[in-house]
Amino acid sequence: RMGSMKFKHEKFDHTYRVSMGTYGYYVREYKEDKVPGSVLNLTKQEFVNFKEKLKDGGWIESAPR
């Protein structure tokens, strides 16, 4: 079981946090790293694709706080 992951980008003031739940992966956007925004519920394959797109777009995985 994985913990949560956090992705940030030097040009944007929001972050994405990813966690694994009972029914798949949950991606939540945080504005300015603290105000929770919308949530995506993804299957494992959708999550793999999402993570690749983030990394291709310059997003960096960082340790969640």
Secondary structure element (H or E) that encloses residue 55, with its range: helix 44-56
Whether the pLDDT of residue 26 is over 90: the answer is: yes
Predicted pLDDT of residue 65: 53
Whether the pLDDT of residue 53 is over 70: the answer is: yes
Q: pTM for this structure?
A: 0.77
Q: How confident is the model at residue 7 (pLDDT cuts 50, 70, 90)?
A: very high
Question: From CA 6, how far away is CA 17, in angstroms rounded?
Answer: 4
Name the residue with tokens 């991606």: 27
Question: From CA 30, how far away is CA 46, in angstroms rounded?
Answer: 20
- Count other C-beta atoms under 10 Å from residue 18's C-beta: 22
Whether the pLDDT of residue 1 is over 70: the answer is: no
Whether the pLDDT of residue 55 is over 90: the answer is: yes
Whether the pLDDT of residue 47 is over 70: the answer is: yes
Contacts of 48 (CB under 8 A, 6+ apart): none
Question: From CA 65, how far away is CA 61, in angstroms rounded?
Answer: 12
